[in-house]
């Protein structure tokens, strides 16, 4: 039996795991902020103690599409697992920041003790490794939130790694959080959130088409957003409060003026992130677990 009960019989047939499956262990840096509790599921394991935190997922990923990036950080299974953790907790109860560090790929191990030993060796011997207490890093910061196991299981079962649009949006939120840990990159963190916002928009149009709406528009997406998340602003465009900020960010010279740097507000960055987390959670599960807010 694989660590965390990651066995082929537990996995949906969207991906074959009968051959070539490997275990990807990724350390979690102590500069992040992590949820309390432990996850052991068919999709992976999340472990946190005072000295060491890591995630491990089993994968036999083969990317067969025509495009490629040498700078890709996460495997699809990692995006699914980490995003399910992030989206299973309310963003208005504190800003959770997952900060994955170095990764190591190995053969699937048989016990959790073996996995913990591999992660410990990675922290002690591999450079550069994530900053973890075991190798001299600062203590871990833990959120007061605990993982909503029921919501997590629904999320991880509903996220398809074959949906590349969804993968792009979820990974954008994860990377924005990593940048936001460093105040000097707050501007860049918000920029990546606009990518996630565009993905949420396209996913909403797709949802409307699947629901029978022919050729949905931005106004239709706005109606759907504010009817799904009631906040007394029906009929507005999709995430309209952030539309001009997005133009100023991606277009230094536009009808809105010329900007040496985008005039962003910290409150807007927080609100956009929170709204996107709520929106992705709904688009994945089709259930509203929490609301959007101004």
Average confidence score pLDDT of the chain: 82
Which has the higher per-residue pLDDT, 224 or 3?
A: 224
For residue 110, the model assigns a pLDDT of 78
Interior/surface letters 39-66, b for 16+ CB within 10 angstroms, e for the rest: bebbbbbbbbeeebbbbbbbbeeeeeee
pLDDT 10s digits, 96-147:
788 988 888 888 887 888 889 999 988 888 766 678 998 888 999 988 878 8
Contacts of 159 (CB under 8 A, 6+ apart): 80, 83, 84, 166, 170, 284
For residue 8, the model assigns a pLDDT of 29
Which has the higher per-residue pLDDT, 24 or 94?
A: 24
In the chain, the largest separation of any two C-alpha atoms, in whole Å, equals: 60
Degrees, nearest 5: CA angle 29-266-196 = 65
For residue 13, the model assigns a pLDDT of 35
For residue 202, the model assigns a pLDDT of 95
Contacts of 153 (CB under 8 A, 6+ apart): 41
Sheet holding 22-28: strands in order across? 39-41, 44-48, 53-59, 22-28, 100-107
Interior/surface letters 262-277, b for 16+ CB within 10 angstroms, e for the rest: bebeeeebbbbbbbbb
Q: At what angle do helices 164-180 and 186-210 cross, to 10 degrees?
A: 160
Query: Is the pLDDT confidence value at 266 over 60?
Result: yes
A 10 A CB-CB count for 175 gives: 19
Which residue stretches of 103-148 are H helix? 112-125
For residue 249, the model assigns a pLDDT of 86
Token output for 90: 């309310």
Query: Is the pLDDT confidence value at 271 over 80?
Result: yes
Query: Is the pLDDT confidence value at 7 over 70?
Result: no
Whole-prediction pTM value?
0.86
Quickly state the pLDDT bin for 72 (edges 50, 70, 90): confident
Rounded distance between C-alpha atoms, residue 149 and residue 147, angstroms: 6
pLDDT 10s digits, 152-190:
999 999 999 999 999 999 999 999 999 988 989 988 998
For residue 65, the model assigns a pLDDT of 61
For residue 11, the model assigns a pLDDT of 30
């Amino acid at each position: 039996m694989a660590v965390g009960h990651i066995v082929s019989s537990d996995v949906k047939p969207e991906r074959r795991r009968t051959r070539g499956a490997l275990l990807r262990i990724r350390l979690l840096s102590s500069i992040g902020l992590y949820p309390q509790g432990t996850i052991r599921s068919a999709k992976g394991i999340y472990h946190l103690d005072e000295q060491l935190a890591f995630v491990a997922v089993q994968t036999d990923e083969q990317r067969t599409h025509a495009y490629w990036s040498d700078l890709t950080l996460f495997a699809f299974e990692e995006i699914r697992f980490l995003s399910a953790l992030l989206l299973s907790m309310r963003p208005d109860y504190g800003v959770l920041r997952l900060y994955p560090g170095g990764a190591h790929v190995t053969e699937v191990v048989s016990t959790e003790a073996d996995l913990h030993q591999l992660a410990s060796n990675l922290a002690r011997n591999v450079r550069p490794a994530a900053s973890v207490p075991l190798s001299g890093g600062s203590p871990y910061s833990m959120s007061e939130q605990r993982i909503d196991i029921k919501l997590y299981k629904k999320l991880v079962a509903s996220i398809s790694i074959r949906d590349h649009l969804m993968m792009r949006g979820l990974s954008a939120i994860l990377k924005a959080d990593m940048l936001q840990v460093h105040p000097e990159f707050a501007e860049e963190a918000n920029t990546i959130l606009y990518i996630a916002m565009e993905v949420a928009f396209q996913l909403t149009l797709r949802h409307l088409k699947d629901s029978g709406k022919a050729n949905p528009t931005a106004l239709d997406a706005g109606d759907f957003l504010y009817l799904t998340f009631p906040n007394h602003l029906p009929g507005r465009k999709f995430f309209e409060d952030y539309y001009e900020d997005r133009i100023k960010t991606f277009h230094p010279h536009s009808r809105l003026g010329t900007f040496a740097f985008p005039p962003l507000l910290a409150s807007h960055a927080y609100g956009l992130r929170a709204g996107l987390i709520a929106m992705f959670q709904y688009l994945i599960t089709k259930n509203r677990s929490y609301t959007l807010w101004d």
